[in-house]
Structure 1
Amino acid sequence: MNDIKKIVQGALSFGVSLLIMLVVVVAFLGVHIIDDGFVGVKQTLGNYQDEELGTGIQLVIPFLSTITKVDTRIITIKESVKVPSKEGLIISTELSVIYQIKADRASEIKQTVSGNIEQTLLIPYIRTGIRNLASGYDASAFYSQDTRTEIADALKVKLAENLDENLIIVDVLLREVTLPVRVTQAIEDKLDAEQKSQKKEFELVSAEKDAEIEVVKAKGIAEANQIIGESITQGYLHYRFIEGLNDGNTEVIYVPTEANLPILEARNK
Structure 2
Amino acid sequence: MDVRKVLAPVGLVVVAGVLVSMAGTIQTGNVGIRTTLGVMSPEEIGPGVYLKWPVISSVHEFSAKDIVIDLSDLTPKAKDNLSLRDMDVSIYYRVNAVSIAELSAKYASQSARHDDGYFMPAYELIWRIARNSCYEEIAKLDSLVIHTQREQLGVAIRTQLQEELERNDPGVFVVSRVVIRSVQTDPSIEQSIQQAVANQKKLEAMQVQTEIAKKEADIKVTEARGIAESNQIIAGSLTREYLQHEANMALLKFAEKGNSNTIVVPSGMTVTPLISTGK
What TM-score range do you get, normalising by the shorter chain? 0.7 to 0.9
What is the CA-CA distance between 1:61 and the residue it aligns to? 2.8
- Corresponding residue number in structure 1 for 2:159: 157
Correspondence list, 1:113-192, <5 A: 113-114=108-109, 115-116=111-112, 117=121, 119-145=123-149, 148-164=150-166, 165=169, 166-192=172-198
Q: Which secondary structure does the structure 1 equivalent of 2:182 belong to?
A: strand
- Corresponding residue number in structure 2 for 1:230: 236
The answer to whether the 8 Å contact 2:31/2:97 transfers is yes
- TM norm structure 2: 0.73
Note the residue ranges of structure 2 that are not aligned, 5 or more in a row. Answer: 113-120, 255-263, 269-279
Counterpart selection for 1:52 from 29, 44, 59: 44
**Aligned-partner Cα distance in 2 for 1:159–1:141:** 22
Q: Which secondary structure does the structure 2 equivalent of 1:62 belong to?
A: coil
The answer to whether the 8 Å contact 2:30/2:47 transfers is yes
Pair 1:110-2:99 in alignment:
no
- Corresponding residue number in structure 2 for 1:95: 89
The answer to whether the 8 Å contact 1:29/1:62 transfers is no
Of stretches 206-215 and 49-58 in structure 1, the one that deviates more from structure 2 is 206-215
What is the CA-CA distance between 1:144 and the residue it aligns to? 1.9
**Aligned-partner Cα distance in 1 for 2:130–2:88:** 11
What is the CA-CA distance between 1:239 and the residue it aligns to? 8.8
Q: What's the C-alpha RMSD, in Å, of the aligned pairs?
A: 3.3
What is the CA-CA distance between 1:133 and the residue it aligns to? 2.2
- Corresponding residue number in structure 2 for 1:42: 34
- Corresponding residue number in structure 1 for 2:20: 28
What is the CA-CA distance between 1:25 and the residue it aligns to? 2.8
**Aligned-partner Cα distance in 1 for 2:200–2:78:** 25
* Residue identity opposite 1:50 in structure 2: P
**Aligned-partner Cα distance in 1 for 2:130–2:29:** 25
The answer to whether the 8 Å contact 2:30/2:64 transfers is yes
* Residue identity opposite 1:171 in structure 2: R
* Residue identity opposite 1:152 in structure 2: G
* Residue identity opposite 1:180 in structure 2: D
1:226-247 superposed Cα distances (whole Å, 9 cap, x missing partner): 32233241476279659979xx
- Corresponding residue number in structure 2 for 1:64: 56
Note the residue ranges of structure 1 that are not aligned, 5 or more in a row. Answer: 1-5, 246-255, 261-269
- TM norm structure 1: 0.75
Question: In structure 2, do the counterparts of structure 1 residues 110 and 205 end up closer, same or farther at CA, with 3 Å as the change threshold?
Answer: closer
Question: In structure 2, do the counterparts of structure 1 residues 239 and 37 end up closer, same or farther at CA, with 3 Å as the change threshold?
Answer: farther
The answer to whether the 8 Å contact 1:86/1:139 transfers is yes
The answer to whether the 8 Å contact 1:99/1:170 transfers is yes
Higher share of residues assigned helix: 1
Question: In structure 2, do the counterparts of structure 1 residues 109 and 142 end up closer, same or farther at CA, with 3 Å as the change threshold?
Answer: same
Question: In structure 2, do the counterparts of structure 1 residues 88 and 231 end up closer, same or farther at CA, with 3 Å as the change threshold?
Answer: closer
**Aligned-partner Cα distance in 2 for 1:90–1:118:** 29
Correspondence list, 1:197-208, <5 A: 197-208=203-214
Aligned identity (percent) is 23
The answer to whether the 8 Å contact 2:71/2:88 transfers is yes
Q: Which secondary structure does the structure 2 equivalent of 1:160 belong to?
A: helix
